[in-house]
Chains A and B, each alone.
Chain A
């Protein structure tokens, strides 16, 4: 162990490093710069150099909300949660720092929601429907609406189970659907059989045959009606040999026209006769006026005759005693 000649340590043999102080200082500076730079970047990343304005959101449950989480607007983070505290009325107050350069997105009418998804954390979102509203004041207090995807799961499960039960009942062996399907199959078999759909409609084969017979007879009837129509056509409009009804009718109309002409002339004559009759009437009226005078004269003459007769009767010797003599 006692080495007579202690070998010098390896570093003793090294020559002095050139610019040792400078290099060491540079190295120290590098370390310092790295640490200070990291610290500054961290402060910047945590928003230490950014002017903010406070916003208070109130809710009844702060589950999932953590300090430092983002508040987003249209998917862009515009603020972060600084503090969560319990208010005197049992509600939760979430203090959010909104960056001042993004604060103009928040308006008086803005709505805030707290959404909890199935996967991932809770998110606070802001919605501004009317961007022309006055901007939200610093320190404003707003309620936050909560939407919870997981809260609906039990309800969803119950509904889904009910649906599955119904489906199971529907598809069971003795279900109404099964019976209906069996009947549909029967029906389609009958439709494929001779008689087909008609047989299905009428119920039995005899009736179906009757329908067929009816159809055939209807066919025959139609043929006969067709023949009749042809005949009537011939009679009405005439054929090659015999003139039809229409030409005769046309001749009759021509004759009728002549007759009407004659009738018109006769009427003209009647008109003249009537004019004459009118003149006769006028004369007669005049005569009637003269007759009045005549009648008056006749009446006067008669009255004179009557007086004369009366005179004669009185004077006439063998006139009958007309007066009764009382004893």
Chain B
């Protein structure tokens, strides 16, 4: 069932450097190709109405609830604390330099635009999607996926799609909620418990979120959620490449996910500030 013979023999004879480099490149390309391929498949399934039939909806709802609800409160509290502390630090520092006019804008830019979406994505990855990927890998290893396939069902639709959708949903919900909480906390940290600064705060918020920055922010959040939901699943669904003995725990998938997050963040920064 599992082709273990080939790699065992190559492991016995140390390969030459070009051969090893080639094997590495093939592994690397294959892994990325699987992610892209799975992404396309998932997107097609997301857009097709048959994925939302009652039976699938049931699975989806359960998965979504299980993935989002437990971490929602905890992460919201964490985001509130984080934004309160950062707001306080920035405002106090700005006060000592006489730059309080720019402090709030900086807080919103740093917190809401950059820090919170990334933190939310990482949090979802650690609490939800990486465990889901591991689950999927275990299902594959125990032969359940194969069994599904033999019964004529599509394991991608049965097991993977609900997990990906739940991950995307968790990531977006957490990002949106924590951004709202961060906005409220930043306001409270600067103005305290009154509504006197609300017009100025709203105006400043409007000035920070220009259409282009809003678009970049929305795209970034969406791509973060997709990356976080999809990449651990891809490494869980497919068997590790025969040549990579250390890839069994999904470390390669994790590294790829971080690389994609970093890339999205870098592109969004370039889009915002260049």
* Chain A interface residues toward B at CB < 8 A: 1-3, 6-7, 9-11, 17, 20-21, 23-24, 27-28, 30-31, 34-35, 37-38, 41-42, 44-47, 67-70, 77, 80, 119-120
Contacts and interface: CB of A to CB of B under 8 A. Distances in A.
B176 interface: yes
Contacts of B68: 27
Contacts of A41: 202, 205
Interface in B54-68: 58, 60-62, 64-66, 68
B205 A2 contact: no
B142 A3 contact: yes
Nearest to A2: B1
A7 B135 CA distance: 12
A27 B142 contact: no
Contact of B210 (A10, A23, A68): A68
Contacts of B261: none
A23 B69 contact: yes
Contacts, number: 88
B180 interface: yes
A30 to B, nearest CB: 7
B214 A42 contact: yes
A38 B144 contact: no
Given A9-B139, A20-B61, A34-B173, A45 B180 contact: no
B132 to A, nearest CB: 10
Contacts of A21: 61
A2 B180 CA distance: 50
Given A7-B142, A9-B138, A27 B65 contact: yes
Considering the complex of A and B, which 5 residue pairs feature the smallest CB-CB distances, nearest first? A45-B206, A24-B61, A34-B176, A6-B142, A46-B206
A23 B176 CA distance: 19
Contacts of A2: 1
B151 interface: no
A120 B94 CA distance: 13
Interface string B188-219: 00000000000010110111011000100000
Nearest to B159: A9
A44 B201 CA distance: 12
Nearest to A30: B173
Contact of A9 (B65, B135, B180): B135
Interface string B127-152: 00000000100110111100100000
A288 B214 CA distance: 149
Nearest to B2: A1
A77 B147 CA distance: 66
A268 to B, nearest CB: 110
A120 B101 contact: yes
Contacts of A1: 1-2, 141
Nearest to A16: B62
Contacts of B64: 24, 27-28
A31 B176 contact: yes
A20 B203 contact: no
B180 A42 contact: no
B220 interface: no
A7 B141 CA distance: 11
Given A6-B144, A24-B65, A35 B139 contact: no
A6 B2 CA distance: 16
Contact of A23 (B65, B101, B141): B65
A47 B206 CA distance: 8
A180 B133 CA distance: 92
Contacts of A11: 66, 135
Contacts of A120: 101-102
A67 B169 CA distance: 35
B55 to A, nearest CB: 13
Contact of B203 (A27, A30, A42, A45): A45
Nearest to B178: A34
A70 B68 CA distance: 40
A17 B206 contact: no
Q: Which of A21, A31, A67 has the most CB of B within 10 A?
A: A31
Contacts of B99: 119
Contacts of B66: 11, 17
A41 B172 CA distance: 18
B179 interface: yes
A46 B180 contact: no
B61 A31 contact: no
A77 B141 CA distance: 63
A35 B64 CA distance: 18
Interface in B89-120: 99, 101-102
B37 to A, nearest CB: 25
B273 to A, nearest CB: 14
A17 B202 CA distance: 41
Contact of B172 (A9, A31, A119): A31
Contacts of B156: none
Interface string B28-41: 00000000000000
Contacts of A80: 207
B260 interface: no
Contacts of B202: 41, 44-45
